[in-house]
Amino acid sequence: MQENDIALLEQIVKAIADKPEKVVIERKVDEMGVLLVVHLDNQDAGALIGKEGSTIAAIRRIMKLVGIKANARINVKLDVPPKSNKKDYDKPSTEDHSNNPRKL
């Protein structure tokens, strides 16, 4: 089953991603079931999540069916690099730094 669930998820995610070469899937098994962690490029996250999460929800439903067939609980988690915060950049100054004495 290990090869089947990873191969199916990888095929689905790579078909959606703009940068399929950056898609890596990690499989973890514990007492709660199977966790498939999808590592992908920041730019592909929006396409994979979809509008209101519809795409990732559909992917999770498919993987849940694969798990039911194999008597295992499969969960899918997206691991996306953090987005750069827009507040981190330097805002342009509103002060007048010119030597022009005229007032506006």
Residues of the chain with pLDDT under 70: 1-3, 83-104
pLDDT digits 0-9 by tens, 49-78: 999 999 999 999 999 999 999 888 999 999
C-beta separation of 8 from 63 below 8 A: yes
CB of 25 closer than 8 Å to CB of 12: no
Q: How far is 64 from 36, CA to CA, in rounded Å?
A: 11
Architecture of domain 2-82: 2-Layer Sandwich (3.30)
Q: Is the whole-model pTM more than 0.85? A: no
The amino acid at residue 100 is N
Residue-level pLDDT at 78: 92
Our measurement of the distance from residue 103's CA atom to the centroid of its chain's CA atoms, rounded to an integer in Å, reads 51
